[in-house]
A and B are shown apart, each in its own frame.
Chain A
Amino acid sequence: MNTVNAADTSFIIFATALVMLMTPGLALFYGGMVRRKNVLSTTVHSYTAMVIVSIQWVLIGYTLCFGKDFAGFIGNFQFLGLHGVGFLPNPDYATTIPQSVFMLFQLMFAIITPALISGAIAERMKFIAFAIFILLWSTLVYDPIAHWVWGAGGWLRNLGALDFAGGNVVHISSGISALVVALVIGKRRKIKTITPHNLPMTLLGAGILWFGWFGFNAGSALAINGVALNAFITTNTSAAAGALTWSICELIIRKKVTSLGIASGIVVGLVAITPSAGFVSPLSSILIGGIGGALCFFFVSVVKQKFGYDDALDAFGCHGIGGIWGGIATGIFASKAINPAGANGLIYGNIRLVGIQLIAIVATIAYSAIMTFIILKVLSKFMSLRVTKEEEVDGLDVSLHGEEAYGGIDL
C-alpha cells in the first residue's frame, strides 16, 4: 500500500501538462471571439489566472482544498506553503502517485476555472479589478467547493455526489459566477455590432482545449486503469457529439453550419461529459454530449437574446448550462459496471442519485452566485470594476495595457 507506481505517476505528470495547456488554449478560444482592439486584454485574463493561482495554490489554495477537513466545508492549514507535500502519496486521494504530483494536477484545474469566468466580462472589465477578483474568487469560492466535492470529509463527497473531473467544481462554479459578474458590470456598448475578429484563432483554441481535456478527464482517474481509458473514450465521443448536435441545430434553424458553432459544440460536449467521464459508458456519452450541444445552442442563441444579459463569450451559456446538464446526466447514466467506486444512476434503477446530484448542483449554484456577488460588491468599494467609456471605445489593449495586437502600418 501507498507505494509510488512509476507508470501511474508518469501518466499523471503528462496529464498535468495537458491540463496546463488548456488555459493558453482557452486564451486563444476567447481571444479570437473579441474585437481586434481587445484581443490582448482577453488573452491576458487567462495568463493572469496562471500567474496568480500558481502562487495562491502553493501558499494557501492546496491546503484549503485538500487539508484535513473542517466541518465538511474547508480544509485546514496542514499543507500551508506545501508543508509536508512530498513524494509520499496521500492515501486520501491517490495511493500510487506522489502527493506533489496530485497537488500539481489539481493546480491546473484551479488555474483554468477563474480563467473561464473571463469570457463573460470580456472587453469591458478593469484589468486590476479582474486580477484581484481571481485571487479572492479562487480562495473564497473555488477552494471551498473543491473541498466539498473532492476533499476527504467534504460534505458533498460524503453525501455521495459524483463529480469525476469537475462539473460542479470547475464548470458550474465558473459558469454561474460568470453570469453574476456579467450582470453586475453590465453590457458592452453597441453590443449588436460586435463580431469575432479571428475565428481561426478560436478554432485552434477549441482544438487545444479538446487535446488538453484528455488530461483533464482521463487524468482524473489518478492512475492508469480501465476508468482512465473509459474517461478518455467518453471525453472524445462527447466532444464529437456536442459538435454534431450544435451543428445540426444550426443547420435546421439557420440553414448553415458555422465554424464557431463547431468550436462551441466541441467545448460544450467536453463540459457536459466532465462530471461523468469515468462513470458512464461510451454509448451514454453520445447522448450526454449530444443533448448538451443542443441545450447550450438553445441557451446561447435563444435564451440569452431574450433576456439580453451580456455573457460576452458565453461562459455561462457553455460552462454553466453544460455543467448543470452534465451533473444531472451523471445522475441518469452513471454505472457501477463502468466504475465500481461510483454509483448506479437513474437508468440502472437508482433515482436517488439524481436527487443527490441536484443537491450538489443547487448548492454549487447558490454558493458561487452569492459569494461572487459579495466579492464584487466589496471590490467595487475600493475600485471601479468597469473601464470608462473612452477606454472601452479605444479598446482595452491600448487603454489598459499600452499595446496593440496588430497595430500600426506594415513596415
Chain B
Amino acid sequence: MEEKLTKIDIITSSSKFEELKEALNAIGISGMTVSNVLGCGIQKGHKEFYRGLALDINLLPKIKVEIVVCDVPVDLVVETAKKVLYTEKIGAGKIFIYDVKNVIRVSNGAEGRDALHYDD
C-alpha cells in the first residue's frame, strides 16, 4: 500500500456545484461527498429585516465538496476546480488539501487505491 491518497475539500457557492461536478467527472472523479454548510470569511454578508429588526448576516450558505483521489493527480483537480470556480470577486471559494492514511471499502474490504477504484 505505497500509493498516496489525498483528500481535497472544496468550499464554494452552491450555484457553481453542477458545473464543478461535471468538470470533475470529466477528469475521472466520480465519487464525492457534498454537504450544505454555512461559513464566513472576508466576503461581506447581507442585511436581513425581521419586523423592525435589521440584522447583518455574515454566515453565508455554501457547499462543501469532499473528494479523495489516488490516480487522478491532485494538481489537475485543483486546476480544474480553480478554473470552474474563479470569479474576480471574493467569495468564490477555498480549496483544502490533506493527506489520507487509508481508505476502506466496506462492501468488499478493499483498502487504499483499490477501495477508490471501481471496475465496471
Interface flags for B45-83 (1: CB within 8 Å of A; 0: not) read: 011111000000101010000000000000000000000
Q: Which of A79-87, A216-224, A400-408 binds B?
A: A400-408
A398 to B46, CA, bound (A): 8
B48 touches A402 (CB 8 A): yes
A190 to B16, CA, bound (A): 10
Residues of B with C-beta under 8 A to A399: 46
**Chain A interface category by residue count:** 10 to 19
From known contacts A403-B50, A409-B38, infer whether A190 and B18 are also in contact, taking CB-CB under 8 Å: yes
A403 touches B38 (CB 8 A): no
Query: What is the minimal beta-carbon distance from A280 to any residue of chain B, in angstroms?
Result: 47
Interface flags for A360-401 (1: CB within 8 Å of B; 0: not) read: 000000000000000000000000000000000110001100
Give the nearest-CB partner of A401 in chain B: B49
Question: A305 an interface residue at 8 Å Cβ cutoff?
Answer: no
Query: What is the minimal beta-carbon distance from B51 to any residue of chain A, in angstroms?
Result: 11
Question: A225 an interface residue at 8 Å Cβ cutoff?
Answer: no
Choose from A190, A193, A393, A407 the contact partner of B57 (Cβ within 8 Å): A407
A393 touches B46 (CB 8 A): no
Interface of B is mostly: strand
Give the nearest-CB partner of B15 in chain A: A393
B15 touches A190 (CB 8 A): yes
Question: B6 an interface residue at 8 Å Cβ cutoff?
Answer: no
B15 touches A404 (CB 8 A): no
Interface of A is mostly: loop
Query: What is the minimal beta-carbon distance from B5 to any residue of chain A, in angstroms?
Result: 30
A408 touches B57 (CB 8 A): yes
B49 touches A408 (CB 8 A): no
A409 to B50, CA, bound (A): 16
A210 to B16, CA, bound (A): 39
Choose from B15, B49, B59, B61 the contact partner of A402 (Cβ within 8 Å): B49
A117 to B59, CA, bound (A): 34
B18 touches A404 (CB 8 A): no
A404 touches B48 (CB 8 A): yes
Residues of B with C-beta under 8 A to A398: 46, 48
Give the nearest-CB partner of A403 in chain B: B48
B46 touches A402 (CB 8 A): yes
Residues of B with C-beta under 8 A to A393: 13, 15
A407 to B46, CA, bound (A): 12
Residues of A with C-beta under 8 A to B46: 394, 398-399, 402
**In chain A between 191 and 249, which residues have their CB closer than 8 angstroms to a CB of chain B?**
193
Residues of A with C-beta under 8 A to B47: 402
Residues of A with C-beta under 8 A to B38: 408-409
A409 touches B15 (CB 8 A): no
Residues of A with C-beta under 8 A to B13: 393
Give the nearest-CB partner of B54 in chain A: A402
A408 to B60, CA, bound (A): 8
Contact surface of A with B, Cβ cutoff 8 Å:
190, 193, 393-394, 398-399, 402-404, 407-409
Beyond the given pairs A193-B18, A399-B46, A408-B38, 8 more chain A to chain B contacts, judged by CB atoms under 8 angstroms and listed by A's residue number, are A190-B18, A394-B46, A398-B46, A402-B47, A402-B48, A407-B57, A409-B38, A409-B59
* 3 closest Cβ pairs, A-B complex: A402-B49, A393-B15, A193-B18
| A-B CB contact pairs (8 Å), 20 listed | A193-B18, A393-B13, A393-B15, A394-B46, A399-B46, A402-B46, A402-B47, A402-B48, A403-B48, A403-B49, A403-B50, A404-B48, A404-B57, A407-B48, A407-B57, A407-B61, A408-B57, A408-B59, A409-B38, A409-B59
